[in-house]
Amino acid sequence: MKASSRLAGAVALAFLAQPIAAQELAEEQVNLISSRLAASSRRSWEIGTRAQAILEHNATRYSVFANNDLPPPSNIPGDQQGPLNPIWDIARQVLQNGAGGNDPAPLLGDSSVADPASIGVAVLLANWTNLDQKDDQYERAARNQLNFLYTDRVPKNGDGAISHRLEDVQLWSDAVFMLPPFLAYYGVITDNKTVVDQAYNQIRLYHDQLYDKSAGVWRHIVGGSSDADNGYWATGNAWAAAGMLRVYATIDHSKWSGKMKNEKKDLKKWVEEIHKGVYDRYFDGENILRNYLNDPNTFYDAASTALMAASVYRASTVMDIHTYVPYAERSRITLFTPNSGPWTNQNWTRFTDYEYFTTDGWLRPVVNPTSIKEKLDDGQSPEAQAFAVMMHSAWRDWRWAGEKGKNAADRALGSCAAVVIPSLAVILGSFLI
């Protein structure tokens, strides 16, 4: 029997025997995951994904998932100043690397069109709050990134879909997390609905090309002269769902929410499509997704599992969709429970005897972000670290929002009656490094 199967059995028996629902990470453990993320994020999309994890976990008032209108306060509340410091470090580094000139250019040099834009929200927030009183340098950097997307240097297909890659027209599901959220946030911050409309339109164009109705999920890559990937990559589907949720939340909290009901309806439908396809067709008793959803010969991947579960919790709190909360709970508990069973971990600063984490806090096994058919048995993936933080944060916000879908989740997990969480797990006293 696989270790994960033994763990699943132990978890189920523990749930049946105890009036307690879930093992959860302590804040120190989340900070350990975050420290690995901070130390390892080097590529543009890793930096952008880390910024999003920081906003969701610590600087929550400045996350699009906060239950507040957008734009956020330009005068930073006292309790958000510390949590925002890592965001400011990212924005400052962008300027130090040469962004903020006079010509259209990506925020970081990259062979990808979409990936540098993932850092754009951090730069927009730096400008909005007048970080370091840099006059208009942050504004220029963000504007240059936007304008770059519409230059002749960036390939587009015949319908206007912006290529994920620079060398050829190629659409990747990953891009839905990188590019449209930047466009939506840029439009809201600058009071420009046309740019918000572009965020939706880019998702629509990508959905038209990548969603496979017969499979119920998205293909990974279409187009281009090389490296096409028609497979149903789990992480690509998670990227797409998470990106659409960010755009939905941005629109929903903007002054255009009422005028964009049809766009929000589409985004909601498209997120539901992915969740239905993934969980109804490709989810098994291991509670972990295969690297390629429909291919049983590919490995189980904790990274995509975490981000997909995060998107389910966000769909519950933002879109009022609760259908797949039981599946997200199964995945979260599987990933966050020690091998010896719930409530056995006594060291809240490390990961002792966890199947899905190394002792020093790396999520495992995960797909290699730069060679996506390769498994990393001991982790070392920056994006996987961000996904773990996002899942924890989305679950926390789901709890605080009233745990809708909880009754169904409890039934799926053994008819548990109550949730007991170590107090450290809900104290936001530490900041991402």
The SS3 of residue 366 is strand
Whole-number pLDDT of residue 226 = 81
- Cβ-contact 228, 220 below 8 angstroms: no
Cα 364 from Cα 303, distance rounded (Å): 8
Residue 19 has pLDDT above 80, yes or no: no
Percent of the chain with pLDDT over 70: 89
DSSP string, 119-141: THHHHHHHHHTTGGG-TTHHHHH
325 — pLDDT class (breaks 50, 70, 90): very high
The domain in which residue 242 lies consists of: 3-426
Q: In sequence order, which residues have a C-beta less than 8 Å from that of residue 10 and are 6 or more positions away? A: 339, 340, 341
CA-based nearest residue to 123, from 164, 76, 177, 182: 182
The SS3 of residue 104 is coil
Q: Would you give the DSSP letter of residue 163?
A: P
Domain membership flag for residue 431: no
Residue 360 CB neighbours (<10 A):
13
Domain membership flag for residue 377: yes
- Cβ-contact 20, 418 below 8 angstroms: yes
CATH code for the domain in which residue 398 is found: 1.50.10.10
How many domains is the chain partitioned into structurally?
Answer: 1
pLDDT digits (tens, 9 = 90+) for 280-307: 999 999 999 999 999 999 999 999 999 9
16 — pLDDT class (breaks 50, 70, 90): very low
What integer is the mean pLDDT of 177-204? 99
Whole-number pLDDT of residue 407 = 79
366 — pLDDT class (breaks 50, 70, 90): very high
**What is the residue-averaged pLDDT of the chain?**
91
Residue 263 has pLDDT above 90, yes or no: yes
Domain membership flag for residue 19: yes
pLDDT digits (tens, 9 = 90+) for 214-229: 999 999 999 998 888 9
23 — pLDDT class (breaks 50, 70, 90): low
Domain membership flag for residue 76: yes
Residue 132 has pLDDT above 80, yes or no: yes
Domain membership flag for residue 103: yes
What integer is the mean pLDDT of 195-216? 99
Whole-number pLDDT of residue 410 = 64
Residue 196 CB neighbours (<10 A):
25
Whole-number pLDDT of residue 343 = 72
421 — pLDDT class (breaks 50, 70, 90): very low
Domain membership flag for residue 172: yes
Residue 21 has pLDDT above 90, yes or no: no
Domain membership flag for residue 432: no
pLDDT digits (tens, 9 = 90+) for 388-415: 999 999 999 999 999 999 877 665 555 3
CA 403 from chain center: how many Å? 20
Whole-number pLDDT of residue 428 = 39
Q: In sequence order, which residues have a C-beta less than 8 Å from that of residue 374 and are 6 or more positions away? A: 367, 368
Domain membership flag for residue 433: no
Cα 294 from Cα 371, distance rounded (Å): 19
